[in-house]
Amino acid sequence: MDMIDLLQKKKRGERLSREEIAYFVQGVTDGSIPDYQISAFTMAVCLRGMDEEETANLTYFMAQSGDTVDLSGIRGVVADKHSTGGVGDTTTLVLVPMVAACGVKVAKMSGRGLGHTGGTLDKLESIPGLRVDFTPQEMVDLVNRHGAAIVGQTGDLVPADKRLYAIRDVTATVDSVALIASSVMSKKLASGAEAIVLDVKTGSGAFMKETEAAFRLARAMVDIGERLGRRVTAIVTDMDQPLGNAIGNGLDVREAIGILSGQERESPLFSVCMLLAKQIMLAAGKASTPEEAEAKLQKALDTGAALDKFREIIAAQGGDTRVIENPDSLIKARRVEPILAQADGYVCHMDAEAIGRAAQLLGAGRSRAEDTVDHSVGILMQKRVGEPVKAGEPLALFYVNEEKNLDQARELFTRAMHLGEARVERPLVYGLVTANGEERLI
């Protein structure tokens, strides 16, 4: 088999066989295919596309390119949740204890933040003493004993994707639905979960800026799951403004504890958490209808079982559980600076990506993978789209330790907030995609 032949076929828009895709992934993994041919391949895919079977085959062989996690030692259906990335997205910290309190087994492998998007591991490491570096067997033991674990990726998962993504990132070939879907789903398959719920973001703070592109990605990932024996549900949600009010690390954990404790239950963040949690309950067989799932989840919240489960997860991973009773202890920034509105009006639009980058400049995120984060800094939003504001009122609070990038962060945030004379409303959920089809809500 010859790589030139594969490039010619894909350049003409022809379908690649399972054997040809296996050959390509093997060459990516072992280094026998050079970067320039990989970049030519990814550009051909961007321009000519891949059909559903090609995409599923690419996903399968990428998932098999390195280590895989064996979760067969966990009793019951194992669930996982994945977000395509956004700003103020603390859903994992809320919904994992919610569903675990209802008996769902959750083995969650999470990542770190990069650029304007936050990372669950960085948030968790705001909690003193908490570990996220566990072996696969230790993760299995944690889930069997406590019902859930939230850990970092272990071993050499999906090395083909690591190399492919690095090349796509510098060759303008990131925005291919087939390549994005196979990248996300190969990691989910290698991580071993049987039931997967995907939160596909759309809007200014999301990777998929356009709603129709987000639905195409959702359909592609659900189709991959169906073809490869996984129960996959995707929900398309809004990321045109931060989902939660907190954008940072310690701030995010404090917000999650607040929701689990009974505060902010009317917030968009809680609404998305409940929607995702219901789908996990259905996929894991813990409820037969959305109404039954919601009733069980609400009971876990109202009785304190969900908060107790979060406390248990923290303790099992070595963290200081006193943060549950005193979440303000997570916020140790030297000072808080309000960012004030300059005029009366309504908040009519936010650039969520710019707001995320402002938090990154304060030290809450990374520009490069090797950067460290400051867990105590960030942004706490005071206004949402559609809300009235008067000149001199705070739009947000900046939690600050260093002055170095403060002026730049302040300017970036101010440009990201748009005021108008009329009230507007943003949809929160656009639709649901399952193996049976899609349901549009907007």
- Write out the E strands in 207-284: 231-238, 246-248
Rounded to the nearest 5°, which phi and psi values hold at 286?
-90, -5
Residue 195 and residue 238 in contact, taking contact as beta carbons nearer than 8 Å:
no
Give the Cα separation of 177 and 171 in Å (integer).
16
Residue from 168, 219, 254, 278 carrying the catalytic annotation: 168
Residue 320 annotated among the catalytic residues of the structure:
no
Residue from 80, 89, 122, 161 carrying the catalytic annotation: 161
Smallest Cα–Cα separation from 382: which of 354, 411, 407, 350?
350
Residue type, position 41, single letter? F
Query: Whose structure tokens read 């943060």?
Result: 323
Residue from 10, 81, 108, 187 carrying the catalytic annotation: 187
Residue 187 annotated among the catalytic residues of the structure:
yes
Instruction: Take residue 353 and report the two structure tokens written for it.
Output: 């990506």
Residue 140 and residue 107 in contact, taking contact as beta carbons nearer than 8 Å:
yes
Give the Cα separation of 242 and 244 in Å (integer).
6
Smallest Cα–Cα separation from 271: which of 250, 243, 240?
243
Smallest Cα–Cα separation from 97: which of 319, 310, 301?
310
Smallest Cα–Cα separation from 410: which of 423, 399, 422?
399
Helix %, strand %, coil % of the chain (to 5): 45, 20, 35
Give the angle subtended at the CA of 413 by the CAs of 411 and 419, to the nearest 5°. 105
Ramachandran area for residue 180 (φ above 0: left; ψ -120 to 50: alpha; else beta): alpha
Residue 347 and residue 384 in contact, taking contact as beta carbons nearer than 8 Å:
yes
Give the Cα separation of 173 and 44 in Å (integer).
9
Residue type, position 168, single letter? R
Smallest Cα–Cα separation from 185: which of 147, 149, 223, 133?
223
Residue 415 annotated among the catalytic residues of the structure:
no
DSSP 3-state of 299: helix
CA distances to 68, 78, 405 from 115, rounded to whole Å, are 28, 30, 15
Residue 183 annotated among the catalytic residues of the structure:
yes
Give the Cα separation of 111 and 84 in Å (integer).
11
Residue from 82, 231, 296, 357 carrying the catalytic annotation: 82
DSSP 3-state of 341: coil
Residue 168 annotated among the catalytic residues of the structure:
yes
Catalytically active residues, by annotation: 82, 161, 168, 183, 187
